Amino acid sequence: MGTLSKLAWGKISTIHIQRMRNWARHTHAPLLAVVVLAGFTAASCSTGGTETIQTVLVAPPNAPPRVNRDATHVIVNLEAREELREIAPGVEYREWSFNGSVPGPLIRVRVGDTVEIRLRNRSENTTLHNIDLHAVNGPGGGAEATNVAPGEEKAFTFKAKAPGLFTYHCAAGIVADHISNGMYGAILVDGLTRGPAVDREFYVGQHEYYLSDTPGPGGIPQLDSTKLLAEEPTHVVFNGATRALQGDDVLRANTGETVRLYVTNGGPNLISSFHIIGEIFDRAYQYGTLMSPPLQGIQTVLIPPGGAAIVDFGLDVPGDYKLVDHAIGRVSKGGLGILHVIGGEDPETFQALGVPGAAEPSPTSPATAERSPTRTSTATPGEGGGATREVTIAMGDNVFKPDAVDLSAGSRVRFTLPSAGLQPHNIRIATLSGAFDAGAVSIPEVILAGQSGTLTWDVPDPGTYKFRCDIHPVEMTGIITVK
Ligand SMILES: [Cu+2]
């Protein structure tokens, strides 16, 4: 969602809360009003003295406004959808979702509410769905009460008793399949007391896809059950797609602001070691509970599949802050989001000094400096001697520049590999026979956006050597010609 939409949302939410207050004051008035805007609906009516409201639903990464009202009867309208969606560049997948987003919308209620969950299964869908909310005390968390075939709709109510952030998911059929296909989300039960107000709230979900190597009908990858049972996902993503929180869709905030993230982990298999590179969580509501006091000064929170966490932090220094699962190899599978922070520098909090002891402080901004560490690896040390040729190959999204390099046999070359895109990349040079496994030479690390790596290579026998990025082996390829 763009900045303008977010601004509009802020205004609308204020209006909405004001209306809720007015409605609360006229409990016996015959009211029926519906507000429908792109991305959310809100409605309220009073029937026989019992106020009923329709909850506000917005698509992630947005969170609905705080609940500022007495406990009441809240209706939540959910719809199971099965739709094609691009989950990674060039990768379409038949995603299953609640209301068309992954994760499904953040449902926001308060302690004491009677929550009426209505689940509709679109008639054009192919399979049974339901919903199990972890905020429910009752069989299946509501799953049995909401088993709906395509074209059906069912409902149930539950009393929201425990404050906190809870996962919900589809529990129909092979449950792991439904979650991996995208059917999970979170419900926030606001407590009677709560943490301090923050300037911005975002909603982030992590989960895994298990795609088949061989496409199914229509060239669309299928869910690979073998990979799912082996817990070896092809993609680990935030908000349903590898780039959901990148490019134009980064989270945005300003220095001096406080931010709260509602984070849920759909799984179905992996525990998230959720971390923001360059930030410390001032408060972490571990497991999503709002009944226990938050932990303070936390670097990384564990979020089990079917679990959640709420984290608060203040922003002091501008720059791009990366949301990751600190099981960091998963970044290569797509698990990377960006929080883009703009505003004035705060040199007392963070300052890059450049070369220690140099007379002039580095003009490099702290944010830029943080993004430009250089990693070095030597693939084949060799005997040394002779000049080392320097060659720079830039890694964009998803292309090498240049993608053709001429070198001399027997020489030594040092590749400098700046990553200018938003995706992580690496480089691997094949053997003369074209093999990318045994005998191939690669930089051992993944180079994250804004970072740079080096690879030293003793140029072998003449011939043509292919190279590629292991993460984007189809698009990111090149050739080294050795003479
Ligand atoms: Cu389902």
CA gap 122, 75 in Å, rounded: 19
- The answer to whether residues 93 and 199 belong to one domain is yes
- Say if 2 falls within a structural domain: no
Token pair belonging to 435: 């093999």
Whether residues 205 and 247 share a domain: the answer is yes
Cα dihedral 263→268→273→279 (10° resolution): -30
- Residue 88: its pLDDT value, please? 96
Same domain, 284 and 148: yes
Tell whether 144 and 237 lie within a shared domain: yes
Q: How many A from CA of 224 to the centre of ligand 1?
A: 17
Flag whether 243 is in a domain.
Answer: yes
In-domain check, residue 309: yes
pLDDT of residue 26: 32
Residue 106 shares a structural domain with residue 172? yes
Same-domain status, 320 and 461 = no
Give residue 43 CA to ligand 1 midpoint distance, Å: 27
Identify the pLDDT of residue 474. Answer: 67
Q: How far apart are CA 423 and CA 334, in angstroms?
A: 8
Report d(CA 382, CA 273) in Å as an integer: 39
Q: 62: which DSSP letter?
A: B
Other C-beta atoms closer than 10 Å to the C-beta of 132 total 21
Q: What confidence score (pLDDT) does residue 359 get?
A: 57
Residues 327 and 386 in one domain: no
Digit-by-digit pLDDT tens for the chain (483 residues) are: 333 333 333 333 333 333 333 333 332 333 222 222 333 344 555 544 568 999 989 999 999 998 889 999 999 999 999 999 999 999 999 999 999 999 999 999 999 999 999 999 999 999 999 999 999 999 999 999 999 999 999 999 999 999 999 999 999 999 999 999 999 999 999 986 666 889 999 999 999 999 999 999 999 999 999 999 999 999 999 999 999 999 999 999 999 999 999 999 999 999 999 999 999 999 999 999 999 999 999 999 999 999 999 999 999 999 999 999 999 999 999 999 999 999 999 999 999 999 887 755 444 444 443 333 333 333 343 344 468 899 999 988 778 899 999 999 999 999 999 887 766 778 889 999 888 877 888 887 777 777 888 899 999 999 999 999 877 676 788 999 999
CA of 81 to the centre of ligand 1 (A): 9
Residues near 419 by Cβ (< 8 Å), separated by ≥ 6?
A: 394, 395, 425, 447, 448, 449, 450, 451, 452, 453
**CA 228 to ligand 1 center in whole angstroms:** 16
One domain for residues 246 and 135? yes
Residues 386 and 330 in one domain: no
Cβ-Cβ contacts under 8 Å for 96 (sequence gap 6 or more): 80, 81, 82, 129, 170, 178, 181, 182, 183
Q: Is residue 142 part of a domain?
A: yes
Distance 131 CA to ligand 1 centre (A): 8
Is 31 domain-assigned?
no
Q: How far is the CA of 181 from the centre of ligand 1 (A)?
A: 8
Supply the CATH number for residue 132's domain: 2.60.40.420
Task: Measure 206 CA to ligand 1 centroid, in angstroms.
Answer: 17
Query: Is 64 a domain residue?
Result: yes
Residue 277 near residue 228 (C-beta atoms within 8 A): no
Which residues lie at CB < 5 A from ion ligand 1? 129, 170, 172, 178, 183
pLDDT computed for residue 143 by the predictor: 98
Q: How remote is the CA of residue 232 from the centroid of ligand 1, in Å?
A: 21
Ligand 1 centroid, distance to 111 Cα (angstroms) = 27
Same domain, 337 and 400: no
What distance separates the 2 farthest-apart alpha carbons in the chain? 91
Residues 383, 310, single domain; the answer is no
In a shared domain, residues 96 and 183: yes
For residue 349, being part of any structural domain is answered with no
Query: Could you give the number of structural domains in the chain?
Result: 2
CA dist., res. 478 & res. 483, Å (int): 16
Whether 36 is in a domain gets the answer no
The pLDDT value given to residue 306: 98
Looking at 326, 341, 356, the residue that finishes a domain is 341
Domain range holding 304? 55-341
Residue 205: which of 251, 179, 176, 237 has the closest Cα? Answer: 237
